[in-house]
Structure 1
């Protein structure tokens, strides 16, 4: 991405080759001059809210006609021209367009065919007022794109503009509430194919120069972050479902893998569209539904209307996938399809409400997937998919509210995270419970109908619901949507009654971290009340159990227990409904009982809540890590539900690496490895065996265990009951290298030869220095990440950092920790939306020592001017390090 001087002078575009004769261009340059008009202040970098609001009042009816020339070589620039048509209501004012590129990448500029000389300031092209009369205008600009959002490879590229990166590729109005109709023409090498938002209208090869010109149809009105195209060596697969044609573009070279997955991929899309049409009462709103399977895509998916992008391996599952993997694919497809209505048809006015499109995509996905998986406990799945990840943020000093302020669109990427993806659906489910599902659906239908192909904000939906709901939605929102954190709900027995008392966990954290730099400026106390319509409490007296349904709308609640056995219960476990949200601490007796009996609870949802609660107890220092590890490992072989088994495997893996001191880990490793192999041998399905095998590959450190994995990689031993896939073999090879086996380089050489897909070959080649036993090679790779070009393939970079900072190497590599933290702000500015937090998680994930915790604390204290959102992400990523290191002190 180009860099700009912090306080640049106003610049003028110099005359460039174009439709204007050179002499006339020079005359225009002299006459128009180069100076700010009217002495007004120039717009700053990014798109400030004030600029966006002003444009929304004065610009309407926008259309982009974009022509791009895509060269065959990555080293050659992408060039283009855009004709921007719009209605202009601000005669006498300058027009500000957004283009985040150096001045020399701006070509000829015309207004209604007349050449003008714009002023160029960082991130903007300013068309002078004297060139613009009120009415319908067309501004045409020639340009050279930067590569910041074009994700270019030698024979493939794709545009990813979310949230504010369209302006790195072409001049636009970069704000979500100036929707536009988009026409696109691409000139590409003859051997390439391409896909875009609009349908392909024509492909012209008449020039005879080995290049083809593709013209795509004009789209319905969409926001700039949704504009996209992909081009390169692509294969197509087309299918019809329910009278609708779907086309999938991909680069997968394993034809059997494609064939094995294709029907399910198309079926799931068709089912999702049909469900959403029924729920919303609105037919699918766009002209086509193509999908693009992108190798090593930065996200799971991206909802470009007409050309939805997916991470290829999320669609093309390997042989004998686990049930959670199949569910994950279905949810991803349902999520992106829900965006066609929630986010694409109706879009937030400003990115402070980006959470709205994500919450409804996840919320709807949880419902869409139910019919395709009738054997799955979907209440359990909702709990597993949302609560633990959201708690991982809300319990930290870096917690953020669901709805966050945003002064400038350049910071929009910092708003994404677990709170909008995981907490918000839980909160929305609580709102649906409070108002009733039919009222909730009717409110959403009214909201979508009133704003179709337009923009709306959270207050618009609140107003729609408040008009028909029995709840004061605005008051409810002030806590659940506009504040960070979660309640702490303490439950105790009082002679035949259950007493629930809530406090604000934020207040306790604030008191515990008084003076901490992470909470500087935070309110000392808030004393919030978190209303919840339903909190189920499990009570157990030996084998006798009761479940009590409680409403907690005030500071406390009391519920009578009918037919309660005499005496106090052995176990009090709150939140077993799987919808309620908060920290539910255990008393001493309940903790001991639950640790012994969690595996025996029924139904499966109760077990999942139990294991999550025990994990929270460990994080709070109220349960020894080894006790939790032993309990989870013992429960794993007999766990009948695959979702809970996956949860247990994750607990074993996370506790083993993060919470056990090195000496303890080495001591228990033989026992842990035997226990996991025993669970694998007894697993009932190939998919479940394969998932457990992944855990074994992750945790194995004993000589015997490493030798067995090497035999499997060399195909001298074949595990029974499941296929050892290419991805598993690659994971073994990488793990053997990290563990320093003597012939690691030869193993990696052979693994590279086994790979047949060029994208997977390229990933392994990139990763090789991170896997090397040579510290100099590892350091050289790490230093390359300080440069933007070294970070282009973000998913590969994260894999490399995970290998560099693996727990087996982390303490020896602790010198990289502070430089990793120092890069976070730069990565926030230049990376895609999930990259900053993922970078910090990868950099910190291998550490648990007090020394590493001290480095983080000193870094935060030494940088009081750190971007607050980056500081928040650092506090989120380092929270478990802080807790684990405290347990070791």
Structure 2
């Protein structure tokens, strides 16, 4: 039967009514759900909240002001005005302010003072009815700033907001993909000065105080917004028309004068190089930096206001080559961040590694021309491979790129994998594409995302178009998965009297865990085959098959004699290969014997790193490595190799020798080191040798000599000790039970003229006390977060508390220290948890200490954060290996 027109109209009307009703119910449900979602938000900054805000907010600016009192104990009052456009107002708007509700003082929304803004679970909730869609909104929030991220001292303070700590100080949208332009004003006491991202545009006198107003910045995320204020001295410099300004608290005018020009020169060199490489001019106007005493990091890349650890900038006359290289690399690293991290910022902190890898990778390129005397391939090897292996060989290995559900866990993403392994991986990627294609891809990526955000897949898409290789598969192995390849080697004689070498990639981590994953890790190797001073290089590609093979003829005999056999094959010999390379035991022994005869410094370094890695994997005895180094070190002439060999010898002495072996070895080792000090031709080398003597001294003869040196009764020819040298020496002598230690420490404290260094010495001093009760009282103090604020001081003290000399007396402090790691993650800065765990475990080697740590790890609840568990496993790994190696 056919329906009439009228019935059809009625049917359509009913349908429309039903649709409208459904939509109405849907909107009610949505608004209710959205309201619940916003008002019941979890602590921290969950990714769901960050994604929602990023989709709603645009055209964001902040106007922030802080009133800084002269007295450290008085609170800092502040206000933030956020201006933005909202795409929609379906839900309340959530600001992040991780403070108690009473520190939120009031709100004005779009010109109306309101009490409807509420504090909940570390957030401020602005009701949707106070906001307008599609038009500018203005929200002003007044507050008492939290001190946790303001690093307040008696005479200065500085912000440190990475990764998501700005919300400890002020209400903001604390996420990297809501970049904003900032305007700042600071009210500061008389006699103080200040620096911020923007240039100072105004100064107003206010009754014995000064208000400084700073220019509006380019778009910056909250973690890059920064200021420092206090009693600072100011140095200025100009290079090719570019102005630099350095704030500092160094009172030694001669030290400032010695270092000043080099600091400005290194910044200028880095900026010029990066402008040329990226084809983008420096994007942030002014370039100021602050040298901060005992700064938690080496540096922090705040645009226009870089912060550095003062001790990394102002080097002593006795600085080693490594220290001078370290300063140059640090400056280049932070300068590279102006493009990689500041100009283009990661979308979310799961890609924080991207800014760090490019900063480190570019720094290695930038520094090279300034130090033509240095073997930079060797330095790259030492700077990256050992530290990356220290994590990647352990059960605590983690991927370069990790998932991250909440920014309150972002700090645990930092570590050797993103700082040291990632540059190795990036170098392999550059080799895969070619240097020019790689550079051009980076230029395209930077220009496409300038003043905005991007992800690792965004970069991979750009680079993938420049190579036939499958970069997605490459990225999965090297970037997305944890662990390192294990490369086994089969070496057989061939019919021509040479050898045939077959390499095979395996996955030891997958085998141990039974995960069943299949990874290949494509990479380029530069294999070295050798016999004492003879060596030949062979370039080998481990491609998608995970296999490679090649043959090598015997070496020609000397003087027309019989050909020389290949004694060893070193897949890492050219400084490229990354992984656990399993060499036959006979070849490891031959490498140990031939080490001083190998002509190329890079190959010697690669052999040394491979031997050390093999020792930790149980393939060569620690005593064999120690004996090889006792022979090789006096013959070594490359300063980088000298420093590395001395470092390994110190580890072998303190951690991989029994008490009896240590006692037997000490006289010979101290003689070797003191002879090296006498022979050293440069101040840099003398300083390195003296540091090794000081660190390993245990015999009465050497300790007495060091005491005479500290007393200034005896001089070291060619080496004038600095105040820092004497301070470290006094602490080391007290640790060793020097006679009348307290009087010696009193004298040393009186020698220190700089107030910041004097405060550091007074803080650390109880850690070397003879009294166990004094030392334990210091550790108990660290359980209060207020006493952990100066993290560098705390870590130095923890190193003394757990020094091998005190290991037995400190064993009972290990587990309490590990129990604090989770709280330290929540209250400290990004590197503190790993460094704390390293300091607590670094002096121990006994099976009993290892058993204590294993028992603690086994007792952790199933919901203990996985990344924090990885931190503990990586820190504990050297202890577990030492307990096995030393019997």
User: What's the TM-score once normalised by structure 1's chain length?
Assistant: 0.93
2:255 equivalent to 1:265? no
Partner of 1:524: 515
Partner of 1:241: 239
Which shows bigger deviation, 568-577 or 706-715? 568-577
Q: Is the 8 A contact 1:466 1:472 kept in 2?
A: yes
Partner of 1:583: 580
Which shows bigger deviation, 271-280 or 534-543? 534-543
Which shows bigger deviation, 289-298 or 629-638? 629-638
Q: Is the 8 A contact 1:633 1:648 kept in 2?
A: no
Q: How many angstroms apart in 2 are the aligned matches of 1:38 and 1:675? A: 72
2:88 equivalent to 1:57? no
2:350 equivalent to 1:352? yes
Partner of 2:339: 341
- Corresponding residue to 1:225 among 218, 223, 226: 223
Partner of 2:567: 570
Q: How many angstroms apart in 2 are the aligned matches of 1:868 and 1:820? A: 19
Q: How many angstroms apart in 1 are the aligned matches of 2:348 and 2:590? A: 49
2:492 equivalent to 1:501? no
Which shows bigger deviation, 286-295 or 609-618? 609-618
Q: How many angstroms apart in 2 are the aligned matches of 1:232 and 1:536? A: 52
SS at match of 1:833: coil
Q: Is the 8 A contact 2:255 2:315 kept in 1?
A: yes
Q: Given the superposition, is the C-alpha separation of residues 39 and 694 from structure 1 closer, same or farther in structure 2, using an over 3 Å criterion?
A: closer
2:768 equivalent to 1:810? no
Partner of 2:127: 128
2:259 equivalent to 1:256? no
Q: How many angstroms apart in 1 are the aligned matches of 2:703 and 2:554? A: 56
Q: How many angstroms apart in 2 are the aligned matches of 1:92 and 1:560? A: 69
Which shows bigger deviation, 482-491 or 643-652? 482-491
2:189 equivalent to 1:189? yes
Q: How far 1:624 sits from its partner (Å)?
A: 2.1
Q: How far 1:527 sits from its partner (Å)?
A: 3.2
**Once the two structures are superposed, what CA deviation does each residue of 1:740-762 show, in whole Å capped at 9, x if it has no partner?**
11211001100000000000000
Q: How many angstroms apart in 2 are the aligned matches of 1:79 and 1:272? A: 38
SS at match of 2:340: coil
Q: How far 1:232 sits from its partner (Å)?
A: 0.6
2:167 equivalent to 1:167? yes
Partner of 1:85: 83
How many residues align? The count is 840
Equivalent residue runs for 1:409-488 within 5 Å: 409-488=407-486
Q: How many angstroms apart in 1 are the aligned matches of 2:717 and 2:425? A: 44
2:835 equivalent to 1:838? yes
| Uncovered stretches (5+) of structure 2, i.e. residues with no partner | 1-31, 557-562
Q: Is the 8 A contact 1:634 1:675 kept in 2?
A: no
Q: How many angstroms apart in 1 are the aligned matches of 2:763 and 2:415? A: 27
**Once the two structures are superposed, what CA deviation does each residue of 1:201-255 show, in whole Å capped at 9, x if it has no partner?**
12211x3x21111111110000100011101110000010111100000000000
Partner of 1:366: 364
Partner of 2:25: none
Q: How many angstroms apart in 1 are the aligned matches of 2:764 and 2:204? A: 40
Partner of 2:880: 882
Q: Is the 8 A contact 1:687 1:722 kept in 2?
A: no
Q: Is the 8 A contact 2:96 2:173 kept in 1?
A: yes
Partner of 1:178: 178
Q: How many angstroms apart in 1 are the aligned matches of 2:621 and 2:552? A: 32
SS at match of 2:369: coil
Q: How far 1:567 sits from its partner (Å)?
A: 8.1
Partner of 1:517: none
- Corresponding residue to 1:387 among 375, 378, 385: 385
SS at match of 2:139: strand
Which shows bigger deviation, 166-175 or 773-782? 773-782
Q: How far 1:541 sits from its partner (Å)?
A: 4.0
Partner of 2:156: 156
Q: How far 1:372 sits from its partner (Å)?
A: 0.7
Which shows bigger deviation, 538-547 or 412-421? 538-547
Q: How far 1:39 sits from its partner (Å)?
A: 4.5
Partner of 1:293: 291
Q: Is the 8 A contact 1:92 1:130 kept in 2?
A: no
Q: How far 1:563 sits from its partner (Å)?
A: 6.1
**Once the two structures are superposed, what CA deviation does each residue of 1:149-187 show, in whole Å capped at 9, x if it has no partner?**
000110110000000000000100000000000110000
Q: How far 1:543 sits from its partner (Å)?
A: 4.8
Partner of 1:16: none
2:300 equivalent to 1:310? no
Partner of 1:848: 845
Q: Given the superposition, is the C-alpha separation of residues 433 and 550 from structure 1 closer, same or farther in structure 2, using an over 3 Å criterion?
A: same
Partner of 2:529: 539
SS at match of 2:317: coil
SS at match of 2:580: coil
2:619 equivalent to 1:622? yes
- Corresponding residue to 1:757 among 730, 754, 759: 754
Q: Is the 8 A contact 1:402 1:424 kept in 2?
A: yes
User: What's the TM-score once normalised by structure 2's chain length?
Assistant: 0.93
Q: How far 1:794 sits from its partner (Å)?
A: 0.3
- The alignment's C-alpha RMSD in Å is 1.4
2:539 equivalent to 1:549? yes
Q: Is the 8 A contact 2:392 2:483 kept in 1?
A: yes
Q: How many angstroms apart in 1 are the aligned matches of 2:35 and 2:845? A: 59
SS at match of 2:73: coil
Partner of 1:377: 375
Greater C-alpha Rg:
2
SS at match of 1:362: helix
Q: Is the 8 A contact 2:318 2:721 kept in 1?
A: no
- Corresponding residue to 2:551 among 539, 556, 560: 560
Q: How far 1:36 sits from its partner (Å)?
A: 10
Q: How many angstroms apart in 2 are the aligned matches of 1:426 and 1:657? A: 30
Q: How far 1:492 sits from its partner (Å)?
A: 2.7
| Uncovered stretches (5+) of structure 1, i.e. residues with no partner | 1-34, 511-521
SS at match of 1:152: coil
Q: How far 1:781 sits from its partner (Å)?
A: 0.8
Q: How far 1:486 sits from its partner (Å)?
A: 0.9
Q: Given the superposition, is the C-alpha separation of residues 525 and 324 from structure 1 closer, same or farther in structure 2, using an over 3 Å criterion?
A: same
Which shows bigger deviation, 277-286 or 369-378? 369-378
